[in-house]
């Protein structure tokens, strides 16, 4: 293992230096994933920092981050490797007088291979963090491929033979739970459910990201956002939106929250009209608007 930590506290400290404030749950699970050499499956609502976590791990351990973005229809050629057909054709036309055997051994060599993220991660010598993003968007067939790769960290290319990883990459899979992932895939991973952080932690995050923000204002911002999350909204404000809101308030030069400023900037945290209406009613903003 090249991506390694000494203890959960060490994880926390090093991630914090990389600009990611981790909760106990996150720190412990990252530590275990690194120590036990298991992939980490991260689930949770959008905007709680699932992708940012792997970026922070990469930065904290000076590893390279290799990212495989999944989408409907992503296939082996996009995820694993592909032969560079155009280049192969050029090579064949260039060597006109060659025998078939010569040409064949040449065009199926490393030069004509296009490694995609999974193969890249396996072939790398240095420490590597492999991020497989939004794995629930990919088709079920890709899961089978992932099982093989994540199981023994080796890939078989028929023409080249089996390529095994010299050192296991630190693998993070993220999912928004739009589709049930198969049991087999879940079983191979450590599971981490990231939820909205506790108010204290969120206030710290806001102040880390928006350095000039007053502590009192940061606390108030987080309290309002938490109150909004308790409402039955179509889209609860995420951490990213809290930070955006804090930036907005800072840009407007607000030093305390009052009805007017909240009313004006509610659009930064709530993205649906009915949500805005609901929040306005619940937070008694209407009384001000009317006057």
Partner 1 sequence: MSAQPAEDDEDLTARLVAFVGALRSKGIPAGTSETVDAAAVIDVLGLHDRDLLREGLASALVRRGGQRDVFDMTFDLFFPAGVGVSEAAMDAAGMELDDLRDLLAMALADGDLRTLEQIAELAVDLLGEVGVRDTNTAGWSAYQTLERLRPQTLIAQVLEQRGQGGAGGQGQGQGSGQGQGGSDQFTDRLERDELRQSIERFRQMVQAEARRRTAEVRGREVVTRHAVRPGNDRIDFLSANRQQLEELRRTVQPLARRLATRLAARRRKNRRDRIDIRRTLRRSMGTGGIPIKPVYAKPNPARPELVLLCDVSGSVAGFSGFTMHLVQALSSQFSKVRVFAFVNAMDEVTDMVDLEEADLAGRIGREAHITKWHTSSDYGEAFADFAELFMDSVGPRTCVLVLGDGRNNNQDPNFSALHEISQRSRRTFWLNPEHSTRWGLGDSVASEYAEVVEMHECCNVEQLTRFVSRLLPV
Residue ranges binding partner 1 (CB under 8 A): 8, 24-25, 28-29, 31-33, 35-36, 38, 43-44, 140, 177-180, 183, 186-187, 190-193, 199-200, 216, 219-220, 223-224, 226-227, 230, 232, 256-259, 262, 283-284
Q: What angle do CA 120, 128, 24 make, to 5 degrees?
A: 140
Instruction: Kindly state the smallest distance separating residue 50's Cβ from partner 1, in Å.
Output: 12
Cβ proximity to partner 1: between 103 and 250 the closer is 250
Identity of the residue, 7 or 162, whose beta carbon is nearer to partner 1 in the bound complex: 7
For residues 119 and 150, which CB has a smaller minimum distance to partner 1 in the complex? 150
Q: How far is the CB of 132 from partner 1 (least distance, A)?
A: 17
For the bound state, the minimum distance from the C-beta of residue 14 to partner 1, rounded and expressed in Å, comes to 17
Cβ of residue 96: shortest distance to partner 1, in angstroms? 41
**CB 243 to partner 1: min, Å:** 18
Could you give the residue ranges of the DSSP H alpha helices within the chain?
Answer: 8-17, 24-36, 50-60, 76-79, 85-94, 100-107, 117-123, 140-152, 183-188, 199-209, 215-229, 239-252, 259-269, 273-282, 286-290
Nearest distance in Å: CB 281, partner 1: 12
Half-sphere exposure of 14 (CA within 13 A, CB side): 22
On whether the CB atoms of residues 185 and 38 are closer than 8 A, the answer is no
For the CB of residue 285, give the shortest distance to partner 1 in the complex, in Å.
Answer: 10
State which residue, 126 or 267, has the beta carbon closest to partner 1.
267
Question: Which residues lie across from 42 on neighbouring strands?
Answer: 174, 192
Q: Which is nearer to partner 1, 102 or 180 (CB)?
A: 180
By beta-carbon proximity to partner 1, the closer residue of 51 and 220 is 220
Which lies closer to partner 1 via its Cβ, residue 95 or residue 144? 144
In whole angstroms, the minimum distance from the beta carbon of 219 to partner 1 comes to 4
How are beta strands 170-175 and 40-43 bridged, if at all? parallel
Residues 174, 134 contacting (CB under 8 angstroms): yes
Residue with Cβ nearer partner 1 (84 or 220): 220
Tell me how far CA of residue 170 lies from CA of 59, 123, 189, 191, 252, in angstroms: 12, 13, 12, 14, 42
Rounded Cα distance between 24 and 33, Å, is: 14
Task: Tell me the C-alpha distance between 199 and 191, whole Å.
Answer: 23
Residue (of 219, 217, 229) closest to 269 by Cα position: 229
């Amino acid at each position: 293992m090249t991506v390694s930590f000494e203890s959960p506290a060490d994880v926390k400290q090093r991630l914090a230096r990389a600009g990611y404030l981790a909760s106990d749950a996150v720190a412990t699970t990252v530590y275990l994933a690194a120590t036990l050499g298991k992939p980490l499956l991260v689930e949770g609502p959008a905007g709680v920092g699932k992708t940012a976590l792997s970026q922070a791990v990469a930065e904290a351990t000076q590893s390279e981050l290799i990212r495989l973005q999944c989408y409907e229809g992503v296939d082996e050629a996009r995820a694993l490797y592909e032969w560079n057909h155009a280049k192969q054709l050029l090579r064949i036309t260039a060597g006109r007088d060659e025998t078939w055997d010569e040409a064949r051994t040449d065009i199926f060599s490393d030069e004509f291979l296009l490694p995609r993220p999974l193969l890249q991660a396996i072939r790398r010598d240095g420490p590597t963090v492999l991020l497989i993003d939004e794995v629930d968007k990919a088709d079920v067939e890709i899961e089978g491929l992932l099982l093989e790769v994540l199981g023994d960290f080796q890939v078989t290319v028929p023409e080249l033979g089996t390529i095994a990883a010299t050192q296991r990459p630190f693998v993070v899979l993220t999912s928004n739970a739009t589709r049930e992932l198969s049991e087999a895939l879940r079983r191979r991973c450590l599971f981490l459910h990231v939820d909205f952080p506790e108010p204290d932690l969120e206030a710290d995050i806001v102040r880390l990201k928006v350095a000039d923000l007053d502590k009192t204002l940061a606390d108030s911002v987080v309290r309002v956002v938490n109150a909004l999350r308790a409402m039955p909204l179509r889209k609860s404000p995420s951490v990213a939106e809290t930070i955006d809101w804090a930036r907005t308030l800072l840009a407007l030069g607000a030093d305390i929250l009052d009805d007017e400023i909240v009313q004006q900037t509610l659009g930064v945290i709530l993205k649906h009209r009915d949500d805005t209406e609901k929040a306005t009613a619940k937070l008694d903003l209407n009384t001000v608007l009317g006057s």
